[in-house]
Amino acid sequence: MVDFNGTIVAPNELYLNHFNRGLRYGDVLSDTIRVVNGSLIFWEEHYFRLMASMRILRMEIPMHFTLEVLESTFHNLLAANHLREASANLRFTIFRKDGGTFMPQSNHISYIIEADALDAPEYKIKDGVYEVELFKDHYVNADMLSNLNTNNRLINVLGSIYAKENGYDSCLLLNAAKQVVEALEGNLFLAQGKSIKTPSLKEGCTNGIVRKKIMEIIDGSNDYDLMEGAISPFELQKADELFITNTIIGILPVTKYRQKRFESAVSNDLLGKLNALIQA
């Protein structure tokens, strides 16, 4: 079951049409929220990021889109899918209402919420080799729109096809200045000794919630030093570790980039701290 504008409908019902602005123009925001044992994880951070993103895209924020009402809406959908006390991922997609061309007829919005069950409440490190390469066919724009969680992901689609065709598990994206921005599936961190570095938002990376939480963990730890800034491709092979973060995977260690093999001790340590936050 899915929630379309506050109504629970079967996923095979025809609740969208070819006038949908998300389909026609990519006029759409999306977010994924992790639910652990019925609790929305980092919900306030997701909520305020979503409200800020809607303002940037000049979408009309409905009066009932409060923190409490949306949380209740999510729980209603979880109950409809028999996931009230379970662990799940919620996908929240917001798009402007039908009408208009590049100039919309209205800034009012419609939305869809989907719920999918998780196998386990905690994040786990993925075993095995995970090899990445640079994707240089297209570049990420280093601007505010690139920081938003939108469905405009052609570069990620093409990068994924490139990775599959060339035997890689994923690719790292670059901006026009040839600096590393993020991985196809999430934000990127580089660890070297006690120093952990991640691209800053001005480089064009997604403003990820798990990125923010990992940065808070690092910043509050005596074990590591946090840096935000540009990462050149040359720095990748000097690193002890590379790892990718997002709401769905938590932390995903990269094991190989070209001839460089990476460790995962820092990744495992930070994942334990992230899981402790979730279970708190």
What's the pLDDT score for residue 11?
Answer: 84
pTM: 0.95
Contacts of 36 (CB under 8 A, 6+ apart): 87, 121, 122, 278, 279
Query: φ and ψ at 216, to 5 degrees?
Result: -65, -40
Residue 43's pLDDT is what?
97
Query: What pLDDT, on the 0 to 100 scale, is given for residue 14?
Result: 85
Predicted local confidence at residue 47, as pLDDT = 98
- CA pair distance 280, 274, nearest whole angstrom: 10
H helix or E strand, kind and range, residue 201: none
pLDDT at residue 127, rounded to an integer:
86
Distance CA 88, CA 121 (A): 8
Q: State the DSSP code for 162.
A: H
Residues of the chain with pLDDT under 50: none
- Dmax over Cα atoms in the chain, in whole Å? 54
pLDDT of residue 239: 97
Token pair 């303002």 is found at 55
Sheet with 250-254, edge to edge strand ranges: 225-228, 195-198, 187-192, 241-246, 250-254
